[in-house]
């Protein structure tokens, strides 16, 4: 069996629809930021989740309530419960050495970028993070980011940070600052808009994508970004912006 056994060590409520799970595994794993795991809860289901942090046997997931499995996690999981993990799977972010990196996250997309900023910081990169939220009561993890890197937030409907979308904030920031690399994780529209903008400016960009996953092993075809034939579970989830370029014809 290819599952590792995980024990829920702690659960933290971050917003009304997002929780953080700290899990201790039976054996250490060594994921790269951007890689993901398939988390199986027997009798409930199995879903892909990005590593929000990992340190030998200790891993973290940040989980938004969506449907069956995430709903079960929010409502039923307690400290001490067991879950099963296969991974790390897929391809993570390529880390720059030195230079300045810009991280752009929408909602729970900040999960893999938090893990990334921890690793980038230890590589002496200058890092700035832009975190986008829909409303004041959906803001989370800002303190955690601020402890690591320079952080700005945008809120679409609210009074904190910059008013507007994280894409608006991104456009303002890159008007005045230069970066060697942009890392993105958010809804597909956000990822595509960021990639389009970065490619135009000649800034390297990587973004983490989502598709419905089944095998997680690169063989069933369910997670393909068409018509490019890019498998999110194997070729991604982190994909170089230039690979996505053919999808960006429309403005």
Partner 1 sequence: MSPDLEVELAGLRLRNPTILASGILGSFYGLMKRVEDAGAGAITTKTVTREPREGYPNPVFVDLGFGYLNAMGLPNPGIREFSVELRRAAREIRIPLIASIGGRNEEEFMDVAGRALDAGCSGIELNLSCPHVSGYGLEIGSDLQLACSIIKAVKSISSKPVFTKISIHQARPDIVSRYLGSGADGVTAINTIRAAAICVESMTPILSNIIGGLSGPCIRPIAVAAIYEIRRELPGVPIIGVGGVDGWRAALELILAGANAVGVGSAIARKDLQIFGEIIEGLRRFLAERGFKSIKELVGYAHRS
Ligand X SMILES: Cc1cc2nc3c(=O)[nH]c(=O)nc-3n(C[C@H](O)[C@H](O)[C@H](O)COP(=O)(O)O)c2cc1C
Ligand Y SMILES: Cc1cc2nc3c(=O)[nH]c(=O)nc-3n(C[C@H](O)[C@H](O)[C@H](O)COP(=O)(O)OP(=O)(O)OC[C@H]3O[C@@H](n4cnc5c(N)ncnc54)[C@H](O)[C@@H]3O)c2cc1C
Which residues is 98 bridged to in the sheet? none
Residues with Cβ within 8 Å of 226's Cβ and at least 6 positions away in sequence, in order, are none
Sketch the per residue contact string, 158 through 197, with ligand X: x for CB under 6 A, - otherwise.
----------------------------------------
Q: What is d(CA 126, CA 97) in angstroms, rounded to the nearest whole number? A: 10
Sketch the per residue contact string, 64 through 83, with ligand Y: x for CB under 6 A, - otherwise.
x-xxxxxx------------
Q: What's the min distance (Å) between Cβ of 151 and ligand Y?
A: 19
DSSP structure class, residue 161: S
C-alpha dist (Å) from residue 208 to 68, 108, 111, 236 = 23, 12, 11, 7
Could you say whether residue 79 binds ligand X (CB under 6 A)? no
Could you say whether residue 91 binds ligand FES (CB under 6 A)? no
What sign for the dihedral angle of Cα 112, 118, 124, 127? Answer: positive
Q: Under a CB-based contact definition with an 8 Å cutoff, are residues 203 and 177 in contact? A: no
Could you say whether residue 219 binds ligand X (CB under 6 A)? yes
Tokens of 77: 């999981």
Stretch that binds ligand X, among 45-53, 96-104, 171-179, 212-220 (CB under 6 A): 212-220
* CA 235 to chain centroid: 16
Q: What is d(CA 148, CA 113) in angstroms, rounded to the nearest whole number? A: 12
From the list ligand X, partner 1, ligand Y, none, partner contacted by residue 111 (C-beta under 5 to 8 A by kind): ligand Y
For ligand Y, give the closer residue by CB, 179 or 235: 235
Tokens of 201: 């400016």
Could you say whether residue 45 binds ligand Y (CB under 6 A)? yes
Q: Tell me the pairing of strands 181-185 and 100-106.
A: parallel
C-alpha dist (Å) from residue 139 to 4, 44, 169, 251 = 32, 29, 16, 30
Residue list 208-247, contact with ligand FES (CB under 6 A): 213-216, 218-223, 231, 233-234
From the list ligand Y, ligand FES, ligand X, none, partner contacted by residue 66 (C-beta under 5 to 8 A by kind): ligand Y
Residues near partner 1, by CB under 8 A: 1-3, 5, 38, 40, 42-43, 45-47, 82, 84, 86, 213-222, 224-231, 234
| Interacting residue ranges for ligand Y, rule: CB under 6 A | 36, 45, 47-50, 61-64, 66-71, 108, 111, 210-213, 232, 237
| Interacting residue ranges for ligand FES, rule: CB under 6 A | 213-216, 218-223, 231, 233-234
């Amino acid at each position: 069996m290819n599952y590792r056994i995980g024990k829920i060590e702690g659960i933290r409520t971050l917003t009304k629809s997002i929780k953080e799970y700290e899990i201790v595994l039976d054996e250490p794993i060594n994921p790269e930021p951007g890689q993901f795991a398939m988390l199986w809860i027997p009798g409930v289901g199995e879903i892909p989740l990005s590593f929000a942090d990992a340190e030998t046997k200790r891993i973290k997931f940040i989980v938004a309530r969506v449907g069956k499995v995430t709903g079960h996690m929010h409502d039923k999981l307690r400290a001490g419960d067991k879950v099963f993990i296969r991974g790390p799977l897929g391809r993570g972010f390529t880390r720059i050495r030195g230079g300045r990196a810009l991280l752009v996250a929408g909602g729970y997309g900040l999960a893999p970028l938090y893990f990334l900023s921890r690793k980038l910081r230890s590589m002496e990169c200058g890092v700035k993070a832009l975190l986008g939220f829909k409303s004041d009561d959906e803001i989370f993890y800002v303190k955690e980011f601020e402890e690591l890197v320079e952080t700005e937030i945008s809120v679409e409907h609210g009074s904190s940070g910059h008013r507007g979308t994280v894409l608006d904030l991104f456009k303002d920031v890159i008007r005045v600052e230069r970066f060697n690399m942009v890392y993105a994780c958010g809804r597909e529209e956000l990822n595509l808009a960021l990639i389009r903008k970065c490619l135009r400016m000649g800034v390297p960009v990587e973004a983490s994508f989502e598709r419905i996953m089944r095998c997680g092993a690169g063989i069933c075809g369910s997670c393909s970004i068409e018509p490019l034939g890019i498998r999110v579970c194997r070729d991604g989830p982190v994909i170089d912006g230039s690979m996505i370029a053919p999808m960006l014809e429309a403005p």
